[in-house]
Each structure stands twice: as structure tokens, then as C-alpha cells.
Structure 1
Amino acid sequence: MRKLLLFLLVSIALPALAQNGKKVYADFHGVRYTRQHDGKLGRWEMYANTEKSSTGRKSLCYNADLIDSEGRHEIAAVAYPQVGMQSNLDPDYIEYQILSAKAAKIDGFFIEWGFKPHENDILLREMQKVAAKYDFEIGVNWCDGWLYYDWITKIYPEVNTREAKTEYMAKCYQYLVDSVFTDPTAPMVKGMPVFYHFGPGAKVDEYKKVLSQVKFPQGMRQPVALRRWADWGKLENDKYIPVTRSDDMDAWEKVGEIPTAWLPARVRTRDQAHAEWDNYATQDDVIEFMKPFRDSIWHSNKPAYTIKSGFAMPGMDNRGCAGWGRGHFYYIPRNNGETYQSMWKFCMAEKDSLDMMFIASWSDYTEGHEIEPTIENGDRELRTTLKYAAEFKDEQADERGLTLPLMLFRLRKEARFLEKTKMDVSACQRSLDKAALLISQGRYPVAIGLLSQIENDVKTAKSALAVEMMRLRESDMKIQGKRKSGGYNAEETLSISLPKELVSKLQMNNYVGYLYFEYLDKGNESLFIRSSTQREPKEPFKIVSRIRTDNTGEWKSAKVELYKDNIMNGFNMPTFYLKGNVVVRNLSLGYTIYSVK
């Protein structure tokens, strides 16, 4: 009997013992916000002049406050998140992303980070909090170019020269050592902290000065820096020829950095089949781009190459930003997931030479190379990641966990809505916490059972709600403003006041509300919709929406969500104020009001 018990214990432990120490990390792009959570939108919105593009497209105008007929926000992206537009700082969303990544055998995120106190540092710290619960790792993709722009000078005016910025970079590196590389959530490969060094900020000599000023705790090994190498290459006889060596990379190697891939070069110019992009690459180009890494890094015996990383990305379509406003559209086809698979296959053919895999990216919707599940692509890229990450780590792939984080996320939002509707959901929230831990631990069958039970409990609770729907036309509201073109000119503030009976109901109950109207898309103007608010800081949270016009000359429909937490509905005062050199018409309001029966 004792032998049998020993055998069972050993068998249970075998999966853990089978792990070979190889790691998989994904770049994390942010920060994206929501009005409801943060009072702003961040990278979800984008306005840019693209007249430099050869495509003929003159501008980008993504008004992420606007909601279409399918309930999707007009985000700066070609694909829409499966969970909808969420805030990167929302703990529920962070949990969803971390658990989804873990289910696909991703070990951690490298947050695109520039310096402290940039907004991405807030994201980094919020990620660390949730990651600590679920045995997940959080590191950085250090974009030190942000530090050498004028961004830091706007915060600290005295940091206004390259010398001063280099001094400040040393402080940032020390901060990473103290707060990231020695944190329990630090990315570790072969016992060494690791980060991706995107650049393009410090020059080699400046970086030497930075390293000379950093103090490492006793016994800590210097973090391994994976240096971005993404030289352009060229096209010869319709074949992509990659760059095989670089003086710049040789110089970075001398300060201990290891050349590592990034998004493959897009050297092919716009043609009839790719009319919407200035440059593109093919699936074959992507593999050719990777070969120098295999030949000169992965197969090398250089002791300096302490961590060798493979690389994979799903494709690219940056119509969400056009090169971050530089007016250049790039494209790498996903080919129904084949491009991503081909990169993984290429790396797995060399898996014995690799210590880790780096994916770009988890969440760069704006450049269109996200692997987070979307409406358009489903969780295809996660399934591919799981398949090959399991092969890479010599582990078993279990697809049962891939759908559970989405179920958990939706139930969390349902529970929070019920809580705001004055229901006691504390037991439900405790059960959701247990389900999250079960998903994190890979105990999927137990998690499925618990989530199904919670789902039934939530349905029962919702059945106890009374629902009242109200729709107000212009004649039902008090609108004060200047009339023009069959509507109102908001150049002078336009105000909307609600009936007292409705105000009373909105104050007492939970609701979902929308403001509907049409606006004349003329010129390049901003239309702000504001309300009074009790949230702090007031300046962002009093903004209900901001809409930019794109000079099409057309009347456009607008639907904007109204968040109870942000909006103060008061008696004898307007609820909404519209301001901007824009003509609006056909205003209406729709509310669904919830109360406990």
C-alpha cells in the first residue's frame, strides 16, 4: 500500500518535474483607458494626418467614445477585443489577460515602458499586483527612446539635455532593479532576470555610463538585455534579403546585450493587391527575416549569448495608427493564422538552441499584431501559442482553460452590476476569486463546475430585477442653445436638462444610458460632451465624450454611453453640456433602469 501511495505521489509530481525551464513571454502594449474606469481613452482613440501616405488616405479619425449598431466602440484598430473596449488599469481586465495568457502557457508580459513616472509605469505596478496572485511574471520592454524625447522634460524641465537624460536613465535602471528585477514577479530565465531593450534612446557610450551607476543587490546577477534587431533588408528579384550583421549590434553586444528579433521588415511597396498599405511583407519574407538570428545567434557558441530567444508575431496591420501619426501604413498578413504558426514552427525546429520565446504582441491593437482574442480572429492565436509553447516546454497542452478567463470576466462584470443595483453579491465574488485561482492552477474541470454554478446564481439574481426602459426625444428634454441648420450649433454651449421624475429615478437606481444624436462632420473640430461629476479628479471624469470631426461633409450618427458613476444627475440644473464648433441635431436619450423587485 505504501508503495502504491508513493507511486501516485510521484506520478502527480511528474508534470512539474518535466518542465525544462524554457519560458514564453509576450510584449504588452498600453495604456488603453475607458471613460468609465479612468475618465479618458488613451490608445483606444487616434487622430492623425496621413497625407504623406502613398495610399491616398488623408487622415485617421477614431472616436472611441462612439458606439456602432453592433455595440462596438470606434477604436483605433482593425480588430475588436473579444471582451470589448476595456481599461488596462481595471483589475478585472488585468486578471482576464493574465489568466488567458497563462492558459496558453505564456509565463509573463513585458510591459512597453520608458521611464518613471510615465503612465506605463502605473500600468506596470497595477500588473504586478494581479500577477502576484497568479504566479505570473511582469517585466519590461524598455523603450528608452521615450526618455530621450521631450516627454521627460515636460515632467521635469531640468532634464533637458542628453547628459541629463542619461543621468535620469541610470535612476530608471536602478528603479527597475529595485522594483521589477528583484520583485517576486520578475521574469527569470536560467536564474537570470531578463528584459527586452527596444531602444532607440541611449547610445552605446551613454548606456555604459548608465550601467556604471547602477547598484545591484548582493548575489544578484546583472539582468540580461535582449536588444531589438530589426534592420530593414532589401528586395532582390522579388526575394527578401535580410541584413546578416550590423555594426550597431556589434557595439551593443560589447555592453552585454543580445540581438533579438522584433517585427519583420516590410520592404515591399504598395501594389494593386495591397492598395491600403505603403509597405508590406509576405509570409515567406517573415521567415527569411528570422534566418540570421538562427544562423548567427541561436547556433552560436558565444558565452555572451546567455539567453537565446526565439520570436513570433501573428501579422501586422497598422491602420489604427499609420506609424503613430507618421502617415505610413504597414501590413503583414495573418493568413488565417498561418503566419503565426510558421514563425513558431521555424523556432521550434531550433528549440534545443533556445531558452525562451518572445511574442509581439499580446495587446498592440493599434499596430494590429495582438494575439489577445478578438471578434475577428477568435482565440486562434492563443490556441497556436498553447500548442507550440507546450511543445517548447515539454508539457501537455490543455485547451479546456482557454475559454474560462472570458467566462470569469463576464461574470465579474455581471456581479459588479448587480452590486451597484443594491444586491448582496459578496458570496458570488468570493466564489469568483476561487474560480480565478483554480484557472491559474490549471484545475480546469473544477473551475468549469464552479463557474457554471456561479452563472446560475447570477441568472437567478438578475431575474429578481425590475427593468424599466425610457426613451426621451428632444421635446421631452429642456435644450438650451443656438439653433442652426435644423439642429443646434454647439459653438456656444448647448445644455440638456432632464425631467425631474427621470432625475429621481436615475439617482435612486442603477441604469444603462445612451445619448444619441447626429453631427455634421465638417472641418477638424472637437465636440465635447460634459456633465457635472462627483468623481475625483473632476477634469477627466466630467468628460462624457469627445468627438473629432474629419471634414467629410456628411451627417454622422453618434451613440455615446452614459456612466452612472461619472454623471451627476441633479434637479434644477442641466445634466449635459455640449461645446464645440459642430452642428448637432436629432438628440435623444435612452435609459434602461434597474431596481430590485
Structure 2
Amino acid sequence: MYKYLSVVSVLVLLLSCSKSSSTPAPVIDPVITKPIDTAVVVKTTAKPVVKTNSQKVFVHYMPWFEDKTTSGTGKWGQHWTMANQNPDVITNGRRQIASHYYPLTGPYASSDRDIIDYQLLLMKYAGIDGVIADWNGTHNVYDYPLIKRNTDSLFSRIPGAGLQFSICYEDASLVNVQKVAGTDMVTAAKQDMAYLQSQYFKSSTYISINSQPLLLCFGPQGLKSATEWQQAFADLTTKPRLLSLLYQGDVTGSAGGGEFFWVGASDPAPINDFYNNRSKTLATAFAGAYPGFHDFYKEGGWGNNLFTIANNGTTTLQNTLNLAKNSKLPYLQLITWNDYGEGTIIEPTLDFNFDYLITIQQYTGVKYTHIELELIYKWYTLRKKFLGNMAAQQKLTQAYNYLASLDVDKAADIINGLN
């Protein structure tokens, strides 16, 4: 999904079919681990990390990646390939993917339990409080069912990691639902909201603000009036706290509850105006921070490049974090965990290693460092190395439980003993 902003407007280009190390790492094929017998595993309780920064830090997450085993077509998913890339082509240890950057794990399936657990543990030890998943709804249009499945997989692992979760609704998808499936947008939105209420909103780990479940909207682009949003929420027992993109909250009127910042081409002008002026008029406002922006759309055959914001190592991330802190807003959204197509990635890559997460650790004020992050990566590689080895998998499940409960030493003993 294309995502970028000017100072006073949102321009989102919909896709026609639907968002440091110099040494290459070996290719890791993303294979989903089968469930294992956990009867001999000691159960532990996930514990929250202690932070010196009281700001709630969430991360925007793309659950839309597919490998050949999960796509349903036997092919790699479009967010790894765009129009012209082929991940089966491997050069210097890297698969050919539609991105300027390469995940430390190699390209993966978003429904892979091991990938999810790895990502959630990294977030936890960076002081990130929760995940905001980009979501296209429940309708059988394009790849939306896969994204729904992947989001369900992600949220099923959230409680075990001791994190929170929320949804960013791509209401632009309603346009496609109406066009392809013939369902009018308000009806389709009501069906999506019913699913969110039954499956997510009532969870104790779902993010809430003032007792309202948090719902971000990347727009609005489909429902463009307060009346339509009120109709979409009409059957809900508790109305969500709806946040629109910056400067777009007026579209939702009384149904809305605020706005969130997003990276834009005029960086950093919009962020200063949003913090100094616009946010002061809102009931709820989310700050935003990002490492840069370098999309692959032109190279990948998906139109033209949008714009570029240089990473400058960790400088851009640090500068936007500083602005977020100075804003004194109680909520921050990191943009993003894994939008490889637009190059706004903070998860570990061969290009920046763990540098972004280390910067976030320093911002949130956790006691952890690169040591814990590297241990989690080692845990993930062992999950894949010992596929089919029940005894090893049980030990790694125990190590995961220890990491979730912040017993790093016990986890390290297991992981280092298997390596």
C-alpha cells in the first residue's frame, strides 16, 4: 500500500490488485514450524519490561507477506515480488525481493509462528508496548483474506509475549469490496466492525483509550462522512476511539476521536505543524517516528517512486524520536516495523542490523541492549535449524517462555547449549 502525506492533504495511490552489515547472511527458507508437544515445558507468565520513558510506544505492522507455501498459489506473495522481482533468484546470499533492504531472517511468511514470536520478542526488548496491524477487513477480495488470516495469527501470539495490539483499518479497501464483490461500503464496513468487536475489541490485550478500543484509519478514503462512520459503528456495544490521518479527522466528525502523524514528502515540516498546532485541537493525537523513506515502486514496476527521506544511519530515526518526545504527546507510533516496499523498516535487516532497535531501546529507557536482541535472533535461527527435532523444539519453546517472562539468563543457557 502506498502511504505518504503532504502538509495539508493525504494522497494515497491504491494498488491495482488490492504497504548494518555488509556481509550477506545465508538464505533462510521461511518454513512454518508445526505445533509441538509442550507438556514438558515449564509454563511462565509474560512480564512487561520496565521503561523510564512513560510514553506508550506502538509500532505499525504489515501482516501481508507470503512465501510459496502460504500464498495459495505456489508463488511468492506480491509484497516480496511487486511486478518484476523473483525471490527464487539468489545473489550473494540474498533473494531478489522488492525492496532496497533485506530482512535479517530473509523474506518470510507473515503467518509463520516463529517469525511472529521472533518479532514480538524483539519489540518487547526494545520497549515497544504494542502492535498496530494494517488491516483490509474480512471480505473475499484480492489478498484481503490472507491479510486477515495473518493478522489473526499475529494477535493469537500477542498475549504470550505480554504485548498489546490494535488495528489500523484500510477503509480504502471498501472501494474495492464494492467494486469487486458488489457490497456497498457502509454494509461492508459494518461487517468488518462486527468482526473486530467479536474477535479483537473484547480482548484484555487490545489497546484502549478512555475505555474505548483504539481503531486507526488510514484515511478516511472509503467512508467520507460522519454519518457513514456512525452507521458503520451503529451495532457496536462500545464505539471505538477512531483516529484518522493527520488533518483528516474532520471527515469523521463526531464519530472520530483524533488523528495520528504519518511520514510525508515535506519532512519535517508536517511533523512540526502537527505537534505545535494541530495536535492541540484534538482529543487524542499520536506522534510518529521513522527511520527514513526509500520506496521500491518504480524499480518494482508499481508506478513511480514517491519521494526519499535519507536514513543517515540512525539520525533520521533519532531526530523524529526527539521531536516525538518534545511533543509531550502520550502516544507514539513507530513507522513502520516492516514496510519493505516503502523502506520504513525498523526490524533487523542486513543493511542496518539491530541499530534501529538499539536506538529505540535508548529512547524507551529499557535496561536491555543489543545482547538480548542478538540472543532472540539466535533463538529464531535455531527454531529453523532444528525443524523436526522435537527435543530441541521443546527446549526452544522453554527458552521463548523464559524470554517472555524476562528470565534472560535461563533462556540464554538453553539457546547457547543448543547452538
Query: Which TM-score bucket, shorter chain as reference?
Result: 0.7 to 0.9
8 Å contact kept, 1:46–1:63 = no
Runs of 4+ in 1 over 6 A off after TM superposition: 15-21
Structure showing the higher strand proportion among its residues: 1
1:387 aligns with 2:362: yes
Q: In 1, Cα distance between the equivalents of 2:351 and 2:49?
A: 35
Q: Deviations over 1:192-214 (max 9, x none)?
A: 42122102221024533434523
Distance 1:152 1:410, change over 3 A: farther
| Structure 1, unpaired ranges of 5+ | 1-14, 48-60, 230-245, 267-284, 420-424, 456-597
8 Å contact kept, 2:103–2:347 = yes
Which residue of structure 1 lines up, in the alignment, with residue 271 of structure 2? 290
Q: In 2, Cα distance between the equivalents of 1:101 and 1:165?
A: 35
Q: Deviations over 1:490-509 (max 9, x none)?
A: xxxxxxxxxxxxxxxxxxxx
8 Å contact kept, 2:104–2:349 = yes
The two structures have a TM-score, normalised by structure 2, of 0.80
Alignment-mate amino acid for residue 183 of structure 1: S
1:450 aligns with 2:414: yes
Match of 1:115 among 124, 127, 137: 137
Distance 1:227 1:45, change over 3 A: same
Deviation (angstroms), 1:265: 2.4
Please state whether the residue corresponding to 1:373 is helix, strand or coil.
Answer: coil
Deviation (angstroms), 1:327: 2.1
Deviation (angstroms), 1:83: 0.7
Which residue of structure 2 lines up, in the alignment, with residue 215 of structure 1? 236
Q: In 2, Cα distance between the equivalents of 1:17 and 1:450?
A: 24
Deviation (angstroms), 1:320: 4.6
Q: In 2, Cα distance between the equivalents of 1:322 and 1:358?
A: 28
Alignment-mate amino acid for residue 204 of structure 1: S
1:196 aligns with 2:231: no
Deviation (angstroms), 1:434: 1.2
Match of 1:41 among 76, 79, 82: 76
Q: In 1, Cα distance between the equivalents of 2:367 and 2:231?
A: 43
Distance 1:264 1:440, change over 3 A: same
Deviation (angstroms), 1:257: 3.1
Deviation (angstroms), 1:16: 7.6
Deviation (angstroms), 1:115: 1.3
8 Å contact kept, 1:432–1:451 = yes
Q: In 1, Cα distance between the equivalents of 2:188 and 2:108?
A: 33
Alignment-mate amino acid for residue 360 of structure 2: T
Alignment-mate amino acid for residue 40 of structure 1: K
Q: In 1, Cα distance between the equivalents of 2:127 and 2:405?
A: 12
Q: Deviations over 1:174-220 (max 9, x none)?
A: 2112211212331234544212210222102453343452321xxx5
Which residue of structure 1 lines up, in the alignment, with residue 189 of structure 2? 169
Q: Deviations over 1:102-150 (max 9, x none)?
A: 111112221111210322111110111111221222321111101112x
Higher relative contact order (CA 8 A, sep 6+): 2
Alignment-mate amino acid for residue 439 of structure 1: L
Please state whether the residue corresponding to 1:63 is helix, strand or coil.
Answer: coil
Alignment-mate amino acid for residue 88 of structure 1: S
Structure number with larger C-alpha Rg: 1
Which residue of structure 2 lines up, in the alignment, with residue 434 of structure 1? 398
Please state whether the residue corresponding to 2:168 is helix, strand or coil.
Answer: strand
Match of 1:409 among 352, 355, 380: 380
Report matched runs for 1:51-70 at 5 Å.
Answer: 61-68=84-91, 70=92
Which residue of structure 1 lines up, in the alignment, with residue 260 of structure 2? 260
Distance 1:323 1:63, change over 3 A: closer
Q: Identity over aligned residues, as a percent?
A: 23
1:225 aligns with 2:225: no
Q: In 2, Cα distance between the equivalents of 1:76 and 1:323?
A: 6
Which residue of structure 2 lines up, in the alignment, with residue 400 of structure 1? 371
Q: In 2, Cα distance between the equivalents of 1:152 and 1:410?
A: 43
8 Å contact kept, 2:125–2:368 = no
Distance 1:257 1:207, change over 3 A: farther
Q: In 1, Cα distance between the equivalents of 2:124 and 2:356?
A: 14
8 Å contact kept, 2:243–2:258 = yes
Deviation (angstroms), 1:441: 2.2
8 Å contact kept, 2:347–2:357 = yes
Deviation (angstroms), 1:19: 7.5
Deviation (angstroms), 1:20: 7.8
Q: In 2, Cα distance between the equivalents of 1:30 and 1:18?
A: 27
Distance 1:131 1:325, change over 3 A: same
Match of 1:77 among 99, 111, 130: 99
Which residue of structure 2 lines up, in the alignment, with residue 348 of structure 1? 325
Deviation (angstroms), 1:427: 2.2
Root-mean-square deviation (CA, aligned residues, Å) is 2.4
Distance 1:145 1:321, change over 3 A: farther
Q: In 2, Cα distance between the equivalents of 1:190 and 1:212?
A: 17
| Structure 2, unpaired ranges of 5+ | 1-47
Q: In 2, Cα distance between the equivalents of 1:253 and 1:402?
A: 43
Distance 1:412 1:136, change over 3 A: same
Q: Deviations over 1:26-55 (max 9, x none)?
A: 1112411112454331110011xxxxxxxx
Alignment-mate amino acid for residue 259 of structure 2: P
Number of residue-to-residue matches in the alignment: 363
The two structures have a TM-score, normalised by structure 1, of 0.57
Deviation (angstroms), 1:356: 1.3
Q: In 1, Cα distance between the equivalents of 2:301 and 2:277?
A: 32
Distance 1:183 1:153, change over 3 A: farther
8 Å contact kept, 1:401–1:439 = no
Deviation (angstroms), 1:24: 1.2
Please state whether the residue corresponding to 1:41 is helix, strand or coil.
Answer: coil
Which residue of structure 2 lines up, in the alignment, with residue 29 of structure 1? 62
Which residue of structure 2 lines up, in the alignment, with residue 96 of structure 1? 118
Q: Deviations over 1:207-250 (max 9, x none)?
A: 3343452321xxx5x32122112xxxxxxxxxxxxxxxx5x543
Q: In 2, Cα distance between the equivalents of 1:367 and 1:324?
A: 13
Please state whether the residue corresponding to 1:62 is helix, strand or coil.
Answer: coil
